[in-house]
Structure 1
Amino acid sequence: MGNARGSLFVTGAWESTRGPSTGGPLSLRGPPWHHHGSARKLLTVIQLVIGGGVVNRRRCAIAALTVLTALCALAVPASSGVASASPLPPSSSLSSLAAGAALLPRAPEPPDRAGESTEDSLDRVRVEIEGLYHQAVSATDAYNLAEEEAERQSAEITALARRTADGQKRIQELKDRAGATARAQYRGGGLPAEAQLVLTDDPRLFLDGVDRVKQGMKATKDLLRDLERAQSELKTYAQDAGAQWRALEATRLKRDKAKKEITEKIAEAEGLERRLEKKERARLLELEREAAQKAQARWLESRERERAADGLTAGGDTTGDTTGDTTGEIADGREDGASGQGAKAVKFASAQLGKPYGWGDEGPGSYDCSGLTSQAWASAGRTIPRTSQEQWRQLPKVAVEDMRPGDLIIYHADASHVGMYIGDGSIVHAPRPGRNVSVAGAGSMKILGVVRPDK
């Protein structure tokens, strides 16, 4: 009923813009704003329809604008492909329409699909994320080195403090002895007892006194020398302690700077990952695996070529399927000539599979790359440097073709990553933040060299 009334009133309003109704069919060839005041008439009609006279003027204006827009659309001539220009409405009518349009709620914008990642752009994201994590891992090595240095410097400061206290005690003892000698001389009239014996008329006592004077002079000289040395040592301890404190403070600043860089790079990488859709993150993981597989395949092929060039038969540790990360079972480390300690180190490392990466961590719940290798070898009874860079610098090096389970493979030009070789062309390693301790192809990353802790 309400709809019918609305249709009648709107039709009448439209006809009123054209003059008296002729009773014939309504013509829609002209826009409704040809005659001034038509919009006002239409608004009045809609006010009567909506709410029985008690109206909200804003709602009526919106409704009127909606109807006018619809009528304008119908008024476009449907001639055979020839566009017909319609007269422009008066400027006052355009202003009214613009004002009404501002009152209408905006339709939600369609999702922007223009930025959807292509395969190439997603691979670039992968490279960027890997670069950020590489920087974080490099900073982790700097952090670990600074932490190790800070611990050493703190221990030296503690030792210096202990030696300083001992030196102060020694000086006090020497001063007490010197004071006792001075008091004895005072009681003897300013001369020590030995000197008084020298002045005696008894030859026997004179000779004894001379000997005792010599002994006393030597004791006094030794006392003064000991006191001087103790005071000098105490001064040196104080200077060394001051230098160590300054070095410790500088080390702490480097450690804090590295820590800040680590958190920033990890946050930046995680931010890039969060911006990806779920399916893109899944594809990103696939791209990581594919890149590792390709690198491993290239490495295996290069080893085959080298062996062929040397006249050797390929086989042994290049036959395993280690083209991607895994947390499956690994060998016990006794194949391919692993040493007893090397086998123990491999066994420890393999027991950590599935545990998360944690920068600066040495277990037992999480590890970074060098934390895993250093703890593995510690379990085998051998202490090695804490960081991958120091492991590369200090441990004995072996040729890649001669490596055996338990050896450590150092990666990247800056020696920022390390994994433990377990045979079959595989390593156990703690890859990076967001990943777990896993098995990977030994050639899945750029190899810098190999070191053997028990060589």
Structure 2
Amino acid sequence: MAVRRMRRSATLAGALCAAIVVLLTQGSAIAEPRPTVAQAEAKLAKLEDQADQMVERYNTVAEKYKASKKKYDRLGGQLKSELTKVAELREDLVATAVGTYQSGDILLWPGFVNQQDPAAMLSGLAAGNQLAAARDRVLREFDLANRGLRDRRAKAKAALDEARDVLEEVRGERKKVEKLVGEQERLLRRLNRFNPGDPNSAGVRYTGPASGNARVALQFAFAQIGKPYRWGATGPGSYDCSGFTQASWAKAGVSLPRTTYTQWSWGASRRVSLDALQPGDLLFSKGLGHMGMYVGGGKMIHAPRTGDVVKVVSLDDYWRGRLLGAVRP
């Protein structure tokens, strides 16, 4: 009887301990505080800076891959041309060899020597020299073409290997960006601040003071207002920051490089003071993670970040002391 009571007590004690563990676990989960709006905003700002840098790194690597692939394709075309040339010269070489064998240019010499007519003998010698010269020419051309072919093959292989290596780098950067942008999007949706935009937005008519090609660039830029930001995009339905400025100035006949880094470098001799900005000037953030276009009146137009759209913003409100400099295309 006593043993039975002891067993019942042990069972009850075990159940009580288990219940306490569950309650403590649930309590700690319930007690874990959700981030405040201010904390979420701070995290979002940090994510924006990280995303800006990472997207531009991705764009840089992607452009490097495009250049490597273009180089390989060009060398591949040259290689094909060399193959055709070598094949044609091989046919000429075979025809020359057959002709030499059939005419037997060594056997021609006794006939030349036994010629009674000196003029005829000289004519025969000249013909023999011409055959030899033609044969030598074909041999030289064939040898040079083969050397060129080997060189083209080596260069094409090197370019292909380079493109493959860079492609792996592109894939790695893409995964990093996708992970970061996913986190950014989830946070924006939690804050109810995710704006999907409209890829078919008609934009806004530009009525500012710009003239010349700057006006053309800004007219195009304003026509994109409302279209979504999308990393790696260059239009027409969405843009990232450097893709947006590149597309806007391309409309005005100015060919800008693809990334913020290369656009800033391209503009080394075109830098302008921030006190002398004109509509159409390119604006760059410190660290070169972001950029936009000055529209006048202390404002710029840009493609901001994931979950936002092309729009006009105040320089003071947006940059908050992060403005690096300006370039006038």
CA shift at 1:143, angstroms?
Answer: 2.1
Q: Is the 8 A contact 1:431 1:437 kept in 2?
A: yes
CA shift at 1:109, angstroms?
Answer: 7.0
CA shift at 1:203, angstroms?
Answer: 1.5
Q: Is the 8 A contact 1:342 1:405 kept in 2?
A: yes
Deviations 1:229-260 (A, max 9, x none): 11111111111111111110111111111111
Q: How does 1:7-26 map to 2 (within 5 A)?
A: none
Deviations 1:324-369 (A, max 9, x none): xxxx967534x2xx34111111111111111111111111211111
Match of 1:397 among 271, 284, 287: 271
Counterpart in the other structure of 1:181:
96
- How many angstroms apart in 2 are the aligned matches of 1:196 and 1:410? 85
SS in 2 for 1:365: coil
| Alpha-carbon distance change, 164 to 93 in structure 1, aligned in 2, over 3 angstroms | closer
Match of 1:436 among 309, 313, 319: 309
1:361 aligns with 2:260: no
| Alpha-carbon distance change, 424 to 331 in structure 1, aligned in 2, over 3 angstroms | farther
Q: Is the 8 A contact 1:146 1:255 kept in 2?
A: yes
Q: How does 1:35-434 map to 2 (within 5 A)?
A: 112=30, 115=33, 117=35, 122-191=37-106, 200-273=115-188, 281=191, 331-333=206-208, 335=209, 338-395=210-267, 396-413=270-287, 415-434=288-307
CA shift at 1:95, angstroms?
Answer: 7.1
CA shift at 1:417, angstroms?
Answer: 1.0
- How many angstroms apart in 2 are the aligned matches of 1:177 and 1:96? 101
Counterpart in the other structure of 2:325:
449
| Alpha-carbon distance change, 246 to 114 in structure 1, aligned in 2, over 3 angstroms | closer
Letter in 1 for 2:325: G
Letter in 2 for 1:246: D
Letter in 1 for 2:326: V
Letter in 2 for 1:434: G
| Alpha-carbon distance change, 428 to 186 in structure 1, aligned in 2, over 3 angstroms | same
Stretches of structure 2 lacking an aligned partner (at least 5 in a row): 195-202
- How many angstroms apart in 2 are the aligned matches of 1:185 and 1:114? 95
- How many angstroms apart in 2 are the aligned matches of 1:173 and 1:354? 59
| Alpha-carbon distance change, 378 to 96 in structure 1, aligned in 2, over 3 angstroms | closer
Q: Which has the larger radius of gyration?
A: 1
CA shift at 1:92, angstroms?
Answer: 9.6
| Alpha-carbon distance change, 115 to 330 in structure 1, aligned in 2, over 3 angstroms | farther
SS in 1 for 2:226: coil
CA shift at 1:423, angstroms?
Answer: 0.8
Q: Is the 8 A contact 2:185 2:306 kept in 1?
A: no
- How many angstroms apart in 2 are the aligned matches of 1:168 and 1:346? 49
SS in 1 for 2:301: strand
- How many angstroms apart in 1 are the aligned matches of 2:258 and 2:239? 12
Q: Is the 8 A contact 1:425 1:442 kept in 2?
A: yes
| Alpha-carbon distance change, 387 to 192 in structure 1, aligned in 2, over 3 angstroms | farther
- How many angstroms apart in 1 are the aligned matches of 2:83 and 2:10? 95
Stretches of structure 1 lacking an aligned partner (at least 5 in a row): 1-89, 286-327
- How many angstroms apart in 2 are the aligned matches of 1:451 and 1:195? 82
Deviations 1:95-136 (A, max 9, x none): 79869979x9x9997994672555xxx434423322223222
Counterpart in the other structure of 2:197:
none
Relative contact order (alpha carbons < 8 A, sep ≥ 6): 1 or 2 greater? 2
Letter in 2 for 1:408: L
SS in 2 for 1:227: helix
| Alpha-carbon distance change, 195 to 167 in structure 1, aligned in 2, over 3 angstroms | farther
- How many angstroms apart in 1 are the aligned matches of 2:171 and 2:132? 58
SS in 2 for 1:170: helix
TM-score (norm 2): 0.81
Letter in 1 for 2:247: Q
Q: Is the 8 A contact 1:344 1:379 kept in 2?
A: yes
- How many angstroms apart in 2 are the aligned matches of 1:209 and 1:349? 79
Figure out how many residues of one structure are paired with residues of the other and give that number. 309
- How many angstroms apart in 2 are the aligned matches of 1:151 and 1:132? 28
